[in-house]
């Protein structure tokens, strides 16, 4: 007996080991079978990251886990992701693991976590989910196909934290279920059974670019009677919530070959007016506790009919409230006499015949009453709108009746009497002649304060005169902070702006006594790009954004504009606003005792604002310009030492900080500048002071920069100066080079110094020269400037200057002696040095026709004697020594120039 138990124990242990090892032994085989089955059954590409198999987690079933399951569409939706599931779990009988690859796999439970599904119907009516291959479907006449793929005999399924969307391009229907969690428990193996479901999601729904549901929370707990033989599903016990609005649902949905038959009815179980607030998104409904209401609010409807390629269900939905009121517990004012009478109907089953009738919507706040009605037809084609609005509303009472938030405040009076009829095609195509609008609207003593505005906006008055083709804006007077402005003009497409999300188009004339740009800034953190590119700020910056919805032409005139510590006078011009870009044309202003003309653009569309400007600056005071423009301080730092005026033409582009000041390191462009000055303040420019000390033979007080013109190029954080000339008395100076925006410089000053500056030694050396020859002599002296403008380094290249002077002196004297019949180097040196030439004894050797003279040899008297060959060694030595003597003399002259200040 013990032996039997021992054998049984060994057997059970072997079974356990086998069961535990089976997932590892068969995992790869099972993964290959699953992928082959899916790709064989679907006209799409199926992939997954990993497959895991457990025989214990769902015992007695096996648990198959598939990670990263994706189904990618083929044509005509090539590349679209139909389905992606981060984790898909299937429970299936263990025996199915050992089926042949052609046998079906039965699924008893399905769990999908973190899935995304995108369903789409294109303009041709083709559905992206229609991917089942014809030979893989289960057809009664083809029993061989019933054994392929998967068989879903579900008892339970779950979809958790998933995102589902549906779009029909032709009908412009869009549905999205966000944060979808749905589960069902039932027995799909029975012909008739009850499925117990729970569903929560945020619902977004739009039709023809109009969003009717925008993230409303929906919850549905329902038991559904499933008649699988007839594909009919009937709602039994259920409770639905839209936000907090409770609805009871009754009816059924049946899937037929020709389409889907829908027969549903719904209603609110109670008629309390609090149901109205349940429909409003949660962000807009606060502090409902303690609210008192009177009157009713009911929603009921019927949805009945066939859904196919042509038809939608017939609709009869009613939303109603009569003589209702509400009051928040902490606010003094009640909203009373509320009437709502709205129907959504379709009596034909044709989508374009759906219409919305708002018979009367009205309410009172205090003694003010605002009311309106509308009829909206042809919802899915060319929507027709007939709208009327009439009444008076004291906006100050809104904050007394509604919780507006601590950072928002409204005041003022709105009076409106407007009637309009239009179709959406005319709005889209701007056929204003088809828009029948008339009436007036006015806003007086309006105040708006919120966190979005740095200072409250006060509108003294604004009048709108509405006619068929244009909306005329009159008497618009406003003030915010230090800014005041008046405007009048026309708005071309108010209906398109209100109903079709079009840009607001118009033409306006704006006048301002003072316009302070800081009044329109809001505190924000700088972007990552700006933090990396600007070196001027590490604290939160202020942002100016050009409105994305504005498409307008503005003619403006401002007496004073305050911008970045600058005060601009008499600012005039034309501004075009398009696509978050402001383009300025023919703009002029007075500043720094001069004037500026400007053309260019500023764009705030991207993460970093950009600008492109052409400036024509005339007669600007240099000192004021340097103090006022950071751009001048970085680009032309030496200008701070100059007194007088400047003319310049600048073409610049680059990036802007959030307050629309330039990021200096990003600048690119060029400039042509003309200086109108004769004075220099050395105390403000160490470079000029140090040059004045170094160049002792000149006086920089004699520097003449009047009418100096030069060109500068800005690129890659550096300023390149094109060579330009100026004079210090009669010394010509050519300047060129570059400096970085951190003021590291590399410049060359080429001084062309006349002979008269050579001093006493120079006068002695040049005494033998003719006056005309002396006038011809000038020496280029290169001066290298390095370091920074505040700590300059100056280097004089005297070696080159000495060589140049030596060559000039010798060549001039040789030319003069040649005219006298003498042209030897020795004669030239002797004449230059006043007869004290130590080389006179070897004159003949230099000439090549006489012997050198020494103490033991007399001079040959016979001039007809045959000349002996030249001693080339002696001649070279004589020339070298002669040149050295002149070079030393020239060096003494030039060195003397820099010994002390003259």
Of 598, 610, 700, nearest in space to 653 by CA? 610
Strand pairing report for 581-591 and 566-578: antiparallel
Task: Examine the pLDDT at 901 and tell me if it is beyond 70.
Answer: no
- Shortest CA distance to 115 belongs to which of 62, 186, 153, 165? 165
Based on C-alpha coordinates, what's the Rg of the chain? 47
Per-residue pLDDT, 534: 41
pLDDT of residue 897 exceeding 70: no
Per-residue pLDDT, averaged over 587-615, amounts to 89
Residues 482 and 515 placed together within one structural domain of the fold:
no
Of all residues in the chain, what percent are helix, strand and coil, respectively (each to 5)?
Answer: 25, 50, 25
Residues 576 and 597 reside in one and the same domain: yes
Residue 709 pLDDT class (50, 70, 90 cuts)? confident
For residue 94, tell me if it sits in a domain: no
Q: Are 534 and 570 part of one and the same domain?
A: yes
344 and 473, same domain (yes or no):
no
Among 362, 391, 420, which residue terminates a domain?
Answer: 391
Please determine, for residue 108, whether its predicted confidence score (pLDDT) is greater than 60: yes
Is residue 754 within 8 A of residue 743, CB to CB? The reply is: no
> CA dihedral in degrees (549, 552, 554, 558; nearest 10)?
0
Out of 621, 643, 665, a domain closes at 665
Does residue 318 share a domain with residue 365? Answer: yes
Q: Are residues 351 and 476 in the same domain?
A: no
Enter the tokens of residue 81.
């992701």
> How many domains in the chain?
3
Query: What pLDDT score does 537 carry?
Result: 40
Instruction: Answer yes or no: is 267 within a domain.
Output: yes
CA distances from 598 to 443, 658, 876 (A): 36, 21, 68
Which runs of E-coded beta strand occur in 378-456? 384-394, 409-423, 436-449
Give how far Cα 300 sits from Cα of 353, 356, 547, Å.
Answer: 20, 15, 41
Domain that holds residue 281: 244-391
Task: Give the CA angle between residues 373, 379, 385 to the nearest 5°.
Answer: 35
Mean pLDDT of 759-788: 67
Q: Give the separation between CA 618 and CA 616, rounded to whole angstroms.
A: 7
User: What band does 527 get if pLDDT is binned at 50, 70 and 90?
Assistant: very low
Answer whether 676's CB lies under 8 Å from 707's CB.
yes
The CA distance from 500 to 490, in Å, is 19
Q: Please give the model's pTM, rounded to 2 decimal places.
A: 0.57
Is omega for the bond preceding 589 within 30 degrees of 0, making it cis?
no
> pLDDT class for 888, splitting at 50, 70, 90?
low
Residue 857 has pLDDT above 70, yes or no: no
Q: Beta-carbon neighbour count of residue 367 at 10 Å?
A: 8
Query: 3-state class of 137 per DSSP?
Result: coil
CB contact at 8 A, 497 and 549: yes
CA distance 27 to 586: 75
**Position 583 pLDDT exceeds 60:** yes
Instruction: With cut-offs at 50, 70 and 90, classify the pLDDT of residue 137.
Output: very low
Question: SS3 sequence, 163-179?
Answer: EEEEEECCCCEEEEEEE
In this predicted structure, the answer to whether residue 548 has a pLDDT above a threshold of 50 is yes
Q: Note whether residue 618 is domain-resident.
A: yes
Same domain membership, residue 613 and residue 518: yes
Q: Which of 66-70, 121-125, 368-372, 742-746 has the highest mean pLDDT?
A: 368-372
Q: Say yes or no: 358 and 418 in one domain.
A: no
> Hey, how many other C-beta atoms are within 10 angstroms of the C-beta on 219?
16
**Confidence tier at 738 by pLDDT (50, 70, 90):** confident
1 falls within a domain: no
List, for residues 211-256, the tens digit of each pLDDT value: 777 778 889 888 889 888 888 889 887 888 887 788 888 999 988 8
pLDDT at 9 over 50: no
* Cα angle value 747/751/752 (rounded, 5°): 150
Q: In a 3-state reduction of DSSP, which class is residue 120?
A: strand
307 Cβ contact partners less than 8 Å away, ≥ 6 residues apart: 259, 260, 261, 262, 313
> Mean pLDDT over residues 464-478, rounded?
81
889 within a domain of the structure (yes/no): no
Confidence of residue 113 (pLDDT cuts 50, 70, 90): very high
* 410 lies in the same domain as 453: yes
CA distances from 880 to 72, 836, 844, 875 (A): 90, 17, 16, 9
Same domain, 529 and 655: yes
At residue 526, the pLDDT reads 46
Structure tokens at 641: 């030492």
Q: In 10 A of CB 222, how many CB atoms?
A: 18
Q: To the nearest whole number, what is the mean pLDDT of the chain? A: 76
Number of other residues whose CB lies within 10 A of the CB of residue 642: 25
Asked if pLDDT for residue 322 goes beyond 60, the answer is yes
Q: ∠ at Cα 210 (205, 216), nearest 5°?
A: 35
Domain closes at, from 481, 500, 519: 500
* 128 part of a folded domain: no
Residues 6+ apart with CB under 8 A from 699: 692, 728, 729, 902
pLDDT at 135: 54
> In degrees, to the nearest 5, what angle opens at C-alpha 112 toward C-alphas 106 and 113?
155
Transcribe 266-280 into DSSP letters.
Answer: EE-S--BTHHHHHHS
> Would 113 be classed as within a structural domain?
no
CA distances from 5 to 8, 16, 17, 317 (A): 5, 16, 18, 74
Measure the CA angle with vertex 500, ends 499 and 505; round to 5°: 95
Residue 726 CB neighbour total at 10 angstroms: 19
Per residue in 860-871, pLDDT tens?
334 333 444 444
Distance of CA 27 to the CA centre of its chain: 49
Q: Determine the Cα–Cα distance for residues 473 and 490; give it in Å rounded to an integer.
A: 6
Would you place residue 178 in the very low, low, confident or very high pLDDT band (cuts 50, 70, 90)? very high
Q: How far apart are CA 247 and CA 261, in angstroms?
A: 21
Note whether residue 829 is domain-resident: no
Based on the fold, state whether residues 344 and 424 are members of the same structural domain. Answer: no
Q: Residue 801 — φ and ψ, nearest 5°? A: -65, -40
Question: How many angstroms separate the CA atoms of 81 and 98, rounded?
Answer: 32
User: Backbone phi, then psi, for 754, in 5-degree steps?
Assistant: -70, 160
CA distance 741 to 726: 24
Task: With cut-offs at 50, 70 and 90, classify the pLDDT of residue 373.
Answer: very high
Q: Between 517 and 373, name the one with better pLDDT.
A: 373
**Contact of 118 with 79, CB cutoff 8 Å:** no
Instruction: Give residue 138's pLDDT band: very low, low, confident or very high (50, 70, 90).
Output: very low
pLDDT range class, residue 830, cuts 50, 70, 90: low
pLDDT tier at 543, thresholds 50, 70, 90: low
565 and 658 co-located in one domain: yes
Backbone angles phi, psi at 702, to 5 degrees: -90, 5
Of residues 666, 673, 664, 663, the one with CA closest to residue 642: 673
Which residue has better confidence, 785 or 805?
Answer: 785
Is pLDDT of 336 > 70?
yes
């Amino acid at each position: 007996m013990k032996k039997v138990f021992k054998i049984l124990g060994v057997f059970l242990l072997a079974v356990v080991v086998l069961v535990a090892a089976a997932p590892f032994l068969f995992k790869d085989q099972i993964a290959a079978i699953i992928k082959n089955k899916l790709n064989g059954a679907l006209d799409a590409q199926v992939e997954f990251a990993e497959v895991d198999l457990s025989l214990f987690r769902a015992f007695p079933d096996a648990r198959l886990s598939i990670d990263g399951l994706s189904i990618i569409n083929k044509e005509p939706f090539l590349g679209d992701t139909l389905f992606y599931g981060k984790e898909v779990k299937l429970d299936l009988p263990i025996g199915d693991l050992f089926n042949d690859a052609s046998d079906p796999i039965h699924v008893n439970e399905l769990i999908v976590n973190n899935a995304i599904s995108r369903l789409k119907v294109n303009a041709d009516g083709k559905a992206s989910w229609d991917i089942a291959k014809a030979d893989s479907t289960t057809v009664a006449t083809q029993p061989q196909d019933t054994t392929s793929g998967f068989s879903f005999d579900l008892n339970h399924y779950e979809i958790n934290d998933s995102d589902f969307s549906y779009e029909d391009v032709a009908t412009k229907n869009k549905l999205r279920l966000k944060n979808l969690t749905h589960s069902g428990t039932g027995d799909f193996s029975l012909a008739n059974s009850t499925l117990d479901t729970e569903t929560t999601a945020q619902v977004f729904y739009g039709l023809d670019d109009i969003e009717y549901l925008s993230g409303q929370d929906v919850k549905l707990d329902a038991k559904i009677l499933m008649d699988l033989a007839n594909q009919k599903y009937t709602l039994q016990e259920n409770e639905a919530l839209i936000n907090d609005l409770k609805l009871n649902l009754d009816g059924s949905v049946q899937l037929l070959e020709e389409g889907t038959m829908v027969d549903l009815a719904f209603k609110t179980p109670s008629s309390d007016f609090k149901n109205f607030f349940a429909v409003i998104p949660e962000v807009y409904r606060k502090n409902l506790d303690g609210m008192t209401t009177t009157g009713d609010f009911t929603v009921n409807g019927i949805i009945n009919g066939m859904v196919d390629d042509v038809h939608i269900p017939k609709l009869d939905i009613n939303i109603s409230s009569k003589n209702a009121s509400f009051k928040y517990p902490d606010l003094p004012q009640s909203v009373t006499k509320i009437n709502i009478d709205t129907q959504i109907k379709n009596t034909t089953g044709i989508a374009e015949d759906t219409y919305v009738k708002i018979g009367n919507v009205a309410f009172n706040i205090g003694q003010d009453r605002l009311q309106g009605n509308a009829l909206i037809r042809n919802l899915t084609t060319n929507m027709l709108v007939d709208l009327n609005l009439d009444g008076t509303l004291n906006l100050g009472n809104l904050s007394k009746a509604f919780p507006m938030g601590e950072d928002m405040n409204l005041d003022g009076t709105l009076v409106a009497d407007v009637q309009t009829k239009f179709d959406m095609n005319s709005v889209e195509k701007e056929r204003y002649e088809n828009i029948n609008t008339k009436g007036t609207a006015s806003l007086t003593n309006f105040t708006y304060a919120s966190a979005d505005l740095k200072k409250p906006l006060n509108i003294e008055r604004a009048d709108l005169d509405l006619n068929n083709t244009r909306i005329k804006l009159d008497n618009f007077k406003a003030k915010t902070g230090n800014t005041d402005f008046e405007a009048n003009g026309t708005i071309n497409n108010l209906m398109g702006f209100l109903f079709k999300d079009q840009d607001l188009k118009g033409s306006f004339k704006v006048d301002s006594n003072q316009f302070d740009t800081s009044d329109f800034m809001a505190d924000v953190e700088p972007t990552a790009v700006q933090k990396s590119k600007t070196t001027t700020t590490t604290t939160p910056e202020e942002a100016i954004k050009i409105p994305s919805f504005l498409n307008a032409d503005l003619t403006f005139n401002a007496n004073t504009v305050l911008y970045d510590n600058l005060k601009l006078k008499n600012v005039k011009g034309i501004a075009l606003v398009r696509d978050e870009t402001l383009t300025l044309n023919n703009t002029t202003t007075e500043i720094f005792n001069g004037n500026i003309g400007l053309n260019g653009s500023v764009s705030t569309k991207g993460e970093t604002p950009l600008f492109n400007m052409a400036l024509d600056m005339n007669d600007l005071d240099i000192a004021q310009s340097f103090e006022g423009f950071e751009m001048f301080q970085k680009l032309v730092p030496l200008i701070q030492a100059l007194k007088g005026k400047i003319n310049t033409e600048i073409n610049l582009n680059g990036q802007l900080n959030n307050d629309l000041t330039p990021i200096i390191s990003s600048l690119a462009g060029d400039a042509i500048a003309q200086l109108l000055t004769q004075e220099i303040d050395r105390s403000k420019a160490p470079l000029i002071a140090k040059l004045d000390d170094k160049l002792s033979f000149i006086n920089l007080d004699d520097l003449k920069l009047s009418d100096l013109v030069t060109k500068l190029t800005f690129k890659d954080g550096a300023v390149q100066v094109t060579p330009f000339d100026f004079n210090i008395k009669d010394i010509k100076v050519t300047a060129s080079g570059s400096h970085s925006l951190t003021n590291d410089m590399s410049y060359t000053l080429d001084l062309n110094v006349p002979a008269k500056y050579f001093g006493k030694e120079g006068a002695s050396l040049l005494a033998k020269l003719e006056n005309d020859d002396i006038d011809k002599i000038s020496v280029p002296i290169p001066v290298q400037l390095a370091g920074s403008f505040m700590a300059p380094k100056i280097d004089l290249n005297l070696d080159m200057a000495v060589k140049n002077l030596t060559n000039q002196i010798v060549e001039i004297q040789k030319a003069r002696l040649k005219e006298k019949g003498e042209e030897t180097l020795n004669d030239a040196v002797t004449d230059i040095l006043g007869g004290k030439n130590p080389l006179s004894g070897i004159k003949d050797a230099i000439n090549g026709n006489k012997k050198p003279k020494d103490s033991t040899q007399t001079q040959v008297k016979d001039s007809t004697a045959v000349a002996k060959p030249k001693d080339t060694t002696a001649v070279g030595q004589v020339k070298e020594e002669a040149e050295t003597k002149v070079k030393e003399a020239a060096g003494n002259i030039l060195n003397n120039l820099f010994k002390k200040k003259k």
